[in-house]
Chain A
Amino acid sequence: MTMYERVLQRQILAGGHAGRQDKYGEAGATLLLLGVLAAAPLFASRATVNDLGQAVCLGLFAISFNIVFKYSGLLSFGHAAFFGFAAYAEALLLQFFGNLPIPLLVLDAAASTAILGLAVGQICVRREGAYFSMTTLAIGAGLYSIAFKWSAVTGGTDGLDGFMPDTLTILPGWQWDSPGIAQTYWLVLAILIPSALAAWALLELTPFGNAVRAVRQNEKRAKFLGYDTHHVKLANFTLAAALAGIAGALWAIDNSFVSTDSIDLTFSTTVIIIAFIGGTNWYWGPVIGAVVYIAASDWLSALTPHWQIWLGLAFILLVLFAPGGIAGLVRAGWRRANV
């Protein structure tokens, strides 16, 4: 563990392991966050719901990045490859099989992304630290150039649009005619929240999750205990890819537009920034990061076209002084209030 990681841990844990009070606090915060997101269309404006739809997709994507970072200690620098691949896959699926139920199409896109993740992970996960990050960046860039060049399928720089069918099949025999913003938003959430919860349960409540965390804490010891550490990390990477696949597929549905913006290098770094703004040590932290990111980009881009310079500066300060992100700051405040 490097010095920075120790500082990170100290800031995040703020002394000792998570106690019972923390567990209640986390569960309460999770319920509050998901409840507010689910109820948003009841009180928020159409524009806000539209923004939130993007934010939750980005949030799930950032959770996926963080599953690799938090649970395997690997910083993926090419994560947009999975998100973008799934977004293209979903757009094409909708175009050609638009009358099939949406959840099936999302599942299909996610499964293909998981297979891609398995192949990419096979190359990247063997290596740690800088090597992992640089290799994922290179592979991500390779997939980007395919999306960019293979314009017969991906539309090249123009991207794909007009793939959304007028009538959405939710389940066999249950169809929506030209759904509104709130309806689409709820459809996205109805797939997104259970997926994120399932991945959380897999990592926190099952023997598989124990293995993943054991490898993260001390790979040598886990090896001695008989774990096949390479395959444990590979499985976790594949899980993350599948989740990024769901995020990308839902993004295509929510936006009804897919372009190389969702697979390029900038998007891979954006998701890192989002995850760290929200906080990488709480499973749902990246969702907060995504909401803040979308809100900030709306608010700041109205003030200045060069808002990303402020994003970059804020991110530098955050990494230096509050590596636990927003969730880490809230947790520290919560602890202080409860001492």
Chain B
Amino acid sequence: MTSLLVAGGLDAATYWSLAFMIAAGLTVVFGMLGFLNAAHTSFYMLAGYVAYTVTSITGSFWAALAIAPVAVAIGGLVLERLLFRRLYAAGHTAQLLLTIGLAYVIAEATKMVWGDSAFSIAPPPILAGRFSLFGATLPVYHLFIIAAAIVLLGVLGLLLRGTRLGMLIRAAASHPEMVGALGFNVRNIYTLVFMIGLYLAAFAGVVMAPMEGVYPGMADDALVQAFIVVVAGGLGSLPGAFIAAGLLGVVQGFGNIFFSSEAVFFPFIVLGAVLLFRPLGLFGVKSA
């Protein structure tokens, strides 16, 4: 029993970490820029595939983790300048429609380059294998996922709350005209926030890849999960996304161990329960 609980606990923490990493970028971009990106997880998928290629060329997972998210964020810079920038004031309908079109393009382009098949990426040797804890044998890589999420959360919190740049970003999100009048280039700040959001998605894609591999449907799977986290947490709220990802992680982690295949329904039940008691999500505010 102890071993099952330990295994479930570690799985829960792993799913929590993954769900939060995927949803974090979506939440930041929505909360700061008011931009709803239905292609968010398409960048997550793209990063996974890029990581596969980089790993097979260099033989190093760490090279992929360094290169792929940056490459995707730079691609996002180009798209932001060409496309997304026109839509900040256009409302969520236009944003959804355009990013749906973009998700189609990215999904198909990915298939053109990498084909329809799924690939697995080997974790780096130091993180491969399993360890024992209270009679449960668990993959070492899961510990890395959890650590990565904690580091990411810390860096993101420090950046937004503890630095001058973060102060500027928050100011530009709430009072763009005032920040512009003070002589800052608000457009560039917006571009930066967008790139941070895509970097987070891409980082999650690379970190996830050794666990479940990369496959053509991964963008859709992650989008559903990210939307559940963001809606249950309250649109645009980072603490909300963190808590909601935790709820999801717990029901998925323990659900997989104690219920096996029915566990796929648990996230939807969590979402329904949250919306029943808090229609705006856990941390939602009326104006969102």
Contacts and interface: CB of A to CB of B under 8 A. Distances in A.
> Do A and B associate with each other?
yes
B92 A133 contact: yes
Interface stretch (B62-70, B107-115, B122-130, B182-190): B107-115
Contact of B231 (A138, A269, A276, A319): A138
B279 A312 contact: no
Residue of A5, A130, A146, A315 most packed against chain B (CB within 10 A): A130
B241 to A, nearest CB: 13
A141 B89 contact: no
Nearest to A135: B231
Contact of A131 (B98, B101, B231, B261): B231
Contacts, number: 120
A249 to B, nearest CB: 25
Interface in B82-122: 83, 86-87, 89-94, 96-98, 100-105, 107-109, 111-112
A272 B105 CA distance: 15
Contacts of B231: 131, 134-135, 138
Interface stretch (A56-64, A188-196, A208-216, A303-311): A303-311
Contacts of A75: 92-93, 96-97
A309 B98 contact: no
A133 B230 CA distance: 12
Nearest to B275: A123
Interface in A138-154: 138-139, 141-142, 145-146, 149
A30 B230 CA distance: 42
B285 to A, nearest CB: 12
A67 to B, nearest CB: 16
A149 B261 contact: yes
A123 B278 CA distance: 12
Interface string B183-227: 000000000000000000000000000000000000010011001
A146 B266 CA distance: 11
B104 A137 contact: no
Contact of B268 (A126, A141, A315): A141
Given A75-B93, A129-B92, A316-B98, A306 B220 contact: no
A312 B235 CA distance: 27
A123 B279 CA distance: 9
Given A313-B105, A316-B101, A133 B96 contact: yes
Interface of A: 2-5, 75, 77, 123, 126-127, 129-131, 133-135, 137-139, 141-142, 145-146, 149, 264-266, 269, 272-273, 276, 306, 308-309, 311-313, 315-316, 319-320
13 contacts: A4-B93, A5-B91, A130-B36, A130-B235, A133-B92, A134-B230, A134-B231, A134-B235, A135-B231, A135-B275, A308-B108, A315-B100, A316-B102
Given A131-B288, A138-B268, 20 more contacts: A2-B94, A4-B91, A4-B93, A123-B272, A134-B36, A137-B224, A138-B227, A138-B271, A139-B268, A142-B265, A145-B265, A266-B220, A269-B100, A272-B100, A276-B97, A308-B107, A308-B108, A309-B112, A312-B103, A315-B97
